Structure 1
Amino acid sequence: MHGAKRVMACCDKLARCSDSRVGLTRTFLSPAMDNAHELVAGWMREAGMTPHIDEMGNLIGHYPGVADDHNGPVFLLGSHLDTVPNAGKYDGILGVMLAIEAVASLEGEKLPFAIEVVGFSEEEGVRYKTPYLGSRAL
């Protein structure tokens, strides 16, 4: 499976990572978010990226460019992994999964710049009542 079908299947799987049994709620620093990080990090690895979680809880997958010395240009793609209570299953995660699929479609080809796919944390501001904490840290 590849392309749009894989993206949709991954989104369906992530929709089961919820803090609530009714609807979809994925709060920053919750067990559901930990599960989402595990799944997404695995898909990042499959696409040829090296994932890590930064100090703000953003999940970042690094795909090296031709001369990847970590000082060259980096193209950032992504969206958020957290949700508001009772969210739609594509909110945020669709952007992350499309970015991962774009990297996977390179099939190992190196570009003149690195790519980082970011799953931002606390974009919705549900836990700390302050939105965009993860993206502000970049």
Structure 2
Amino acid sequence: MPDTYDIGYGKPPKSGQWKKGQSGNPKGRPKTRSDLMKDAAAILSEPVAARTPDGRTVSLDGYEAAYLALCKKGLKGHVPSLIKAINIMLEVQPEMDARENQDKQRREEILARLEKMGVDVSGSRRVSADTS
């Protein structure tokens, strides 16, 4: 390379070139929406200490504490919070019912297998029938 360096298109001055080991994108690629959602889910699943009305401290997941705060705000008269809490309940309830039914079916299948093996499960059936 000659001692003189021509500056022009595609040939920036040496002072403006990247230093060896320096990144051209120091902040990195912007986070995608799914990364942000994973981060939010991780934060909301962390335990939070909350006080009950009788003064005891209980540990709740972050999303449970947030939903509880939303419900309390709605019950104090903040209508948008009450509407949002009801909408969340209506969205989540069918999934919870489906999960409960799935668990009940799994329990029944296990009890049926145990009966085939000759294990007495008469007391177990009564308990699972009472929980429905």
Q: Same fold (TM over 0.5)?
A: no
The structure with the largest helix share of the pair is: 2
Q: Output the TM-score relative to the length of structure 2.
A: 0.23
The one of the two structures with greater contact order (alpha-carbon pairs below 8 A, sep at least 6) is 1
